[in-house]
């Protein structure tokens, strides 16, 4: 069965895009990555091996303008339950 691993990462933006001098990375917030994986594999590999692979794959998404740094991950065996109506509920609270 295919499941997902959700990875939280810090996103940095390079403010020195001139190519002269060292990059100037500024943190700009969080970003999430989703990695599909077979459930049997994720349950049978050492945790360190999984984390090391996730760190490497997140870092590989970086380029000269954007940098991503692994923070944490969560294994999701099911899809999220979507609940509509938050906008309406908040609007009721404001009135």
Q: What is the pLDDT along the chain (95 residues), one digit of tens a residue?
A: 999 999 999 999 999 977 788 889 999 999 999 999 999 999 999 999 999 999 999 999 999 899 999 999 999 999 989 999 999 999 998 87
Domain ranges of the chain: 2-94
Q: How long a stretch of residues is the chain? A: 95
d(CA 2, CA 39): 6
Backbone angles phi, psi at 89, to 5 degrees: -60, -45
Backbone angles phi, psi at 83, to 5 degrees: -120, 115
pTM attached to this predicted model: 0.84
Q: Over the Cα atoms of the chain, what is R_g?
A: 18
What is the CA 58 to chain-centroid distance, rounded? 8
């Amino acid at each position: 069965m295919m499941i997902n691993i959700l990875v939280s990462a810090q996103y940095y933006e390079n403010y020195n895009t001139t190519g002269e001098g060292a990059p100037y990375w500024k943190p700009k917030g969080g970003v999430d990555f989703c990695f599909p994986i077979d459930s049997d594999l994720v349950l049978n590999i050492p945790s360190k091996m999984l984390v090391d692979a996730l760190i490497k794959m997140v870092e590989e998404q970086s380029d000269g303008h954007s940098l991503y740094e692994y923070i944490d991950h969560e294994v999701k065996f099911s899809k999220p339950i979507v609940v509509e109506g938050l906008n309406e509920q908040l609007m009721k609270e404001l009135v």
